[in-house]
Structure 1
């Protein structure tokens, strides 16, 4: 933290992602902001993520006199504290901050010029090539899971759900027993990001992994969620549990290299599934449905993660040019 302060002139926000000391007044403001977003028709995931950022900024502004004293200097200092995040994350956070300050201005909680003080970040949409695992590496990771203990049974089922069905981590954590249609071999998923409910085929290996965990590994609990924490207090995962270390643990056990250039969280398994489906000729519209994308534009980014697909798009410099009709 001291090194970051010396480099950036601020303690980076990654050291304080949760806001546990928010005042009652600030918490009420954040709740009203989220209601304002819902009234504007924003998605559930936007309301949640924007609310988290609003709480972070309210806590930050509280150390500088509160929202009433917020000015360009406060906004600038908060922006500097985001230096440790990925560029895309900074872009999203500043967009949320701009929205929150517009709300605060309308409510008379902050000056009208504060939202204009939020710096613009050049859009980097789809600039990053998605991280994709080699199929052999994924197989070795799954083989490295010790399914002889309860945690291993849980982790194996979770990784399979992401790997084989492309579920987001948050949707896996929120899965309930009622979402499984066992006679029909189907799984119903209410997607947290889009708010849509989709039906996916319950593949045999996935279904048996869930059954094995439910029968032989899951702690006794009345919680409707399928997957639980195994340390006290036993209960469902929180939305802040990204399960990143779960995948990293088994990747290391399988001696699969994890380079700094690769983002190796659970989301990368979704990238891998999408890329393999695209390479296999699955229509992009079907892939978008499986992954829960609202637009096929979001799905098309996986073209960049496959050298095989890119080679099909390559132009032959020696091919004779064609006359383009006018």
Structure 2
């Protein structure tokens, strides 16, 4: 292998070890990366020009070679090991992986240009939060790709209501009414922007048809107090690093009713141990709340920091349990796992948000004013808190109303 390849593999090993990969995993990744470099050398493909299609082709080749060598197919997840090693190598060699998409035709160039401008507008002029930008950008890219690939680069100015209807037909099968409404709102946004920037002759956004949703329709799932206690108790019995982490997360969910993103973005410096306070960065409003650090929460987080959190330079409190050690991703799978362990089966959705609903209902039943509930939940207006009122409707069954009536004489 050329010296440049040897140096690249040595640099890869140093990078993996610095990211806290175990020596065994780092060695496996480097071994597969070395074989991949040999494969490229035989085909005279420079490492800095490798594409995603070439990596996919190599993985098919690697599976075929495994089958030829061992007389059997590899396990269903075997390919993830060489793929991870190759991706780490390509991130090191190219600086970014997957690579940024390159325009291969005029339609691609136009779509990339519009999307870049649209994202800047959403971020700088509208000031939207990252999750909202991500959702709007996904819809925008998908719509533009659908329209430009189908009708060409000159089709935007000639778009009509029929085009919008056909796009909605491709997006709405098997979706709930709420999901269809979300698609419609995101589509309206990109259509308004296209007209605002002079790329469409008329504003087509008013012609996007969405289902009518009634205020507060559909009661979401909540957990009762004994169910929450059972989940916390079972999770607290798991003293492994992942168990300590999940227990701390569940304590935050149950005590404060936080959003998933607010827990994932919680940083070390947000907890003031001396003042027994915790700062919450609300992702939707970009405001901060300062809440008292309740004893069960503080004890659970401290136990995780002492015995469960891996060594890392990341400032977020909750970290992945496997290298590379970075901010934790979505919480839904961890919550579902702990609910299952406790034998708790909500009738509807079973993600982190059901703890938020439960906390709101508990405060409502304790006669906490709606304004205070909204402040704790990080709501911008009272209208955002109002939907939680419907979750306490069962309490009305306990109220006996004395309705006056006419006396019946015999």
Q: Give the TM-score normalised by structure 1.
A: 0.81
**What is the aligned-residue RMSD (CA, Å)?**
2.7
Aligned residue number for residue 14 of structure 1: none
Aligned residue number for residue 164 of structure 2: 75
Distance 1:20 1:66 in 2: 25
The count of corresponding residues between Structure 1 and Structure 2 is 297
Q: Which has the higher contact order (CA 8 A, sep 6+)?
A: 1
Question: 2:245·2:308 contact (CA, 8 Å) conserved in 1?
Answer: yes
Aligned residue number for residue 202 of structure 2: 112
Question: 2:216·2:390 contact (CA, 8 Å) conserved in 1?
Answer: no
Q: 2:352 aligns with which of 256, 266, 273?
A: 266
Whether 1:32 aligns to 2:117 is: yes
Change (3 A) 1:226 1:107: same
SS in 2 for 1:306: helix
SS in 2 for 1:199: strand
Question: 1:223·1:236 contact (CA, 8 Å) conserved in 2?
Answer: yes
Q: 2:220 aligns with which of 100, 113, 130?
A: 130
Change (3 A) 1:162 1:60: farther
Once structures 1 and 2 are overlaid, which stretch shifts more, 25-34 or 306-315?
A: 306-315
The alpha-carbon deviation at position 28 of structure 1 amounts to 4.2
Whether 1:291 aligns to 2:377 is: yes
Q: 1:252 aligns with which of 320, 340, 345?
A: 340
- Unaligned residue ranges in structure 2 (runs of 5+): 1-97, 104-108
The alpha-carbon deviation at position 308 of structure 1 amounts to 4.6
The alpha-carbon deviation at position 67 of structure 1 amounts to 6.7
Once structures 1 and 2 are overlaid, which stretch shifts more, 140-149 or 59-68?
A: 59-68
The alpha-carbon deviation at position 298 of structure 1 amounts to 2.1
Once structures 1 and 2 are overlaid, which stretch shifts more, 269-278 or 44-53?
A: 44-53
Kindly report which structure 2 residues correspond to 1:270-281, keeping only aligned pairs within 5 A, or say none: 270-281=356-367
The alpha-carbon deviation at position 38 of structure 1 amounts to 4.1
Distance 1:175 1:297 in 2: 26
Question: 1:43·1:194 contact (CA, 8 Å) conserved in 2?
Answer: no
Distance 2:376 2:199 in 1: 43
Distance 2:337 2:229 in 1: 15
Give per-residue Cα distances to partners, 1:113-137, cap 9 Å, x unaligned: 5434421331434222232112111
Whether 1:225 aligns to 2:316 is: yes
Distance 1:60 1:183 in 2: 56
Change (3 A) 1:215 1:67: farther
Change (3 A) 1:116 1:131: same
Once structures 1 and 2 are overlaid, which stretch shifts more, 81-90 or 227-236?
A: 81-90
Aligned residue number for residue 166 of structure 1: 257
Kindly report which structure 2 residues correspond to 1:43-62, keeping only aligned pairs within 5 A, or say none: 43-44=128-129, 45-62=131-148
The alpha-carbon deviation at position 82 of structure 1 amounts to 2.8
Distance 2:303 2:128 in 1: 35
Structure whose alpha-carbon radius of gyration is higher: 2
Aligned residue number for residue 12 of structure 1: none
Once structures 1 and 2 are overlaid, which stretch shifts more, 167-176 or 134-143?
A: 134-143
Kindly report which structure 2 residues correspond to 1:6-25, keeping only aligned pairs within 5 A, or say none: 25=109
The alpha-carbon deviation at position 60 of structure 1 amounts to 3.7
Distance 2:262 2:362 in 1: 21
The alpha-carbon deviation at position 54 of structure 1 amounts to 2.0
The alpha-carbon deviation at position 288 of structure 1 amounts to 0.3
Aligned residue number for residue 141 of structure 1: 231
Q: Give the TM-score normalised by structure 2.
A: 0.65
The alpha-carbon deviation at position 226 of structure 1 amounts to 0.9
Question: 2:148·2:155 contact (CA, 8 Å) conserved in 1?
Answer: no
SS in 2 for 1:64: helix
